[in-house]
A and B are shown apart, each in its own frame.
Chain A
């Protein structure tokens, strides 16, 4: 039998304040960045045009920019995505008429060279953003209700706070590094929520069980025991998830950003389960049930 870790007995809850402080600092940095730099919303949310082109002759970013500025598209962002292949994002304000034809005449290319065109109107962009936020909001509510029913109310609070933590940490990474937020990123956020919740529920499940077995222990001890008992599972599962996400990093385009979000999120998820979800439940128990037998 191969073991990654032997039986452990870390006093996790004892250090939870330190951990929570670190989290708060990171989130504070994120909020500051969010206020001053904001998020780099993709055209899904801002509206605008994205064109992916494959040139048949050697081209560099500057060549593309030069050609585009002659037709009044100087404000476009140009990104090299492969050999003579570029992704060009044109802001909403510069979007005029038939971008496809403009590209064809400017660069002397044909329809088959245009790999992809995405054109999103500003109204649609706002709607999509609204829908995405709604989706996250609803999933929080539904998850909260489910946990409150299956476990107890305080567990729902713990789980949701830990999920909020994960989303905020991931948002911090997105705003600090100005990664593009698209519809796919929203999917990543929701997957992170899913995974983090997985960890949380596994530990809560163990607590539920240990509450019956270790009747003479206090809540803090039971939480520590439960986290330690499930620690090898947490590590193994997170390792496999990590392998999978590592593979996703190789898919070009949006999926890569998805993978980055997943990597950050799954680390935050594991951590928050132990240091946010667990402690919240323990604190709650201390505050409202001081005479627990």
Chain B
């Protein structure tokens, strides 16, 4: 028995240590000074914290929750051609009916079309002859429009400047966007809803880019803003793929060599980037870059630093006036010589003016190269454009053979294929795609230029940061107040046993928060309410046990026997009542939205951990007492 109790103590100890460790990050994160936080961000080390802290919901830290819905009538209208007044009237009636009756738009549309003996084929070409076929084709088109809308919004999120934005598809035609801690809700709303811009821009000649990099190196080293004309013939000499002697240096150190150093940052110790030691002294900018398949790759941890350098006014002046720097939409994973994989963002130096605008694209689809062709069996993207676009494209490709053309959506480069030959008739294909998924994605991007997918805001919740702060303050105060009152009552009523229950209660709170941190769950205001209610439920378990022990003592049992019976008899009631609560919480998690979900999550984990603390932990302490002494009385 003595040994058993020790094992129980070890289990409790391990749980407590784990919980405290998991909570350590939240405490550390919240005590970071703004300057320190900025420097950690520069060094790309803030993730380590952000992945481990208890996240606050929109209602607590302020932010924006938007539900967007694809505007189906608008989409159908855009696709249709030769539109007549009758067509518009049917579309309008359908929109109205679908809204009022809450029916599926296309179901109503098809019904109205049939009712009026309408021939859809008059308005929609290449989509079959039967009305039902055309409606089906429009439905597929809408699903594709959803994919485009999602891609466009995902592509834009980093402009919001928030960590961990949520973008998810909800239902068939809806997207939920959650941006925590956003300051400028009006701008975010605009950004989400604005039409996507798809362009093709030519990449600058490598020599021009090299000269720019050399100039920046020179500027960072000497502070002079001369344009370096030195011909850097072999790219690899400047952007070398060497990772042998990487060392960490601070970004301030980097910029500090010039007079424009960011002197506001006092703490530099942690803000480091990975550079090549040998190269750093001579070429401070180049040392941040790597050669990735003959492109400029920037390791993920250096991205922020490179962005900062490019934004430096003096450096910005060095960028040739007819060009701009754009980043790849997604990071590229590369396996290095030493077997480690690293993530790189590609930095593209492109012409300022677009070579061709995406609006000319009429179709784009992912497919596999046919047999006999050079691309047989490989994923490719076929695309086509209208006559006007074909003329421009023909000129563009004809005079730039061998150069690379970047496919850009909202200032993010998706890929930059080389121009093989002149494309005269406006239809061509892209090869060299990694897999079918990439091909599909590129096709989506190309189509985003062709057919804008308009989304409407149907629900918006914005909470200002100050209201959020107030809520955190009141929520915490109330939580502590509730805890305190309950604890005083328990001590007053059950004396030493009450103290034990109180300890269990505090542990329960610690465990619940720790689980929230480990699961990366979000704490909301209703979540705090759920936590407060957990206090009530957790206490109930101890009340049940203590009352039972009292009963057994009154019946004349010994202390040890009373404890034994008390726990075992109370157990079934505690289990049954807690399990039903857990079931309710689970259902709420499943069906609940937003605030209700937050409530359910804390309730669920609170109850779960209370079964450990209120039963196991308190019992362990009783056992510990009864193991060592034969108790005549019990303070209960």
Contacts and interface: CB of A to CB of B under 8 A. Distances in A.
A255 B529 contact: yes
B30 interface: no
Interface in B572-599: 572-573, 576-577, 579-581, 583-584, 587-588, 590-596, 599
A143 B584 contact: yes
Contacts, number: 202
B478 A124 contact: no
B266 to A, nearest CB: 28
A124 B532 CA distance: 30
B230 interface: no
A117 B467 contact: no
A74 B176 CA distance: 31
B580 A146 contact: yes
Interface of A: 1-2, 4, 52, 54, 100-101, 111-112, 114-121, 123-124, 126, 128, 131-132, 134-135, 138-139, 142-143, 146-147, 150, 183-184, 186-187, 190-191, 193-195, 197-198, 201-202, 204-206, 208-209, 229-230, 232-233, 236-237, 239-241, 243-244, 246-248, 250-252, 254-255, 258, 262
A103 to B, nearest CB: 11
A201 B576 contact: yes
B544 A191 contact: no
Contacts of A101: 186
Given A121-B458, A183-B592, A197-B581, 9 more contacts: A115-B464, A117-B185, A131-B593, A138-B587, A139-B587, A195-B536, A233-B543, A237-B544, A241-B540
A126 B581 contact: no
Interface in B598-630: 599-600, 603
A134 B67 contact: no
A202 B548 CA distance: 12
A124 B581 contact: no
B459 A119 contact: yes
Contacts of B462: 114, 116-118
Counting from the closest, the 8 A-B pairs by CB-CB distance are A121-B458, A205-B573, A135-B591, A247-B482, A115-B467, A119-B460, A198-B577, A241-B536
A213 to B, nearest CB: 11
A236 B532 contact: no
B457 interface: yes
Contacts of A126: 102
A101 B190 CA distance: 13
B459 A120 contact: yes
A2 B497 CA distance: 13
Given A1-B636, A232-B547, A250 B581 contact: no
Contacts of A250: 474, 478, 481
Interface of B: 67, 69, 99, 102, 184-186, 457-464, 466-467, 474-475, 478, 481-482, 485-486, 489-490, 492-493, 525-526, 529-530, 532-533, 535-537, 539-540, 543-544, 547, 550-551, 569, 572-573, 576-577, 579-581, 583-584, 587-588, 590-596, 599-600, 603, 636
Contact of A2 (B474, B492, B525): B492
A126 B543 CA distance: 42
> Which of B490, B593, B600 lies at the interface centre, i.e. has the most chain A CB atoms within 10 A of its CB?
B593
26 contacts: A4-B493, A52-B467, A100-B186, A115-B463, A117-B185, A119-B461, A120-B459, A121-B459, A135-B588, A143-B583, A146-B583, A184-B599, A194-B537, A197-B584, A198-B540, A198-B580, A202-B577, A230-B547, A233-B543, A237-B543, A240-B543, A244-B485, A244-B532, A247-B482, A250-B474, A255-B525
B581 A194 contact: yes
Nearest to B539: A240
B464 A114 contact: yes
Given A112-B464, A143-B580, A236 B458 contact: no
Contacts of B593: 128, 131, 183
A104 to B, nearest CB: 9
A254 B462 CA distance: 16
B577 A197 contact: yes
A250 B69 CA distance: 37
Given A100-B186, A116-B462, A244 B482 contact: yes
A123 B532 contact: no
A193 B544 contact: no
B485 to A, nearest CB: 5
B458 A124 contact: yes
Contacts of B69: 121
Contact of B591 (A1, A118, A121, A138): A138
A183 B595 CA distance: 7
Contacts of A116: 461-464, 467
B489 A205 contact: no
Contact of B466 (A115, A128, A143, A204): A115
B526 A248 contact: no
A262 B535 CA distance: 14
B410 to A, nearest CB: 23
Given A115-B464, A198-B537, A237-B536, A183 B596 contact: yes
Contacts of B467: 52, 115-116
A124 B67 contact: yes
Nearest to A191: B533
Contact of A237 (B102, B475, B539, B595): B539
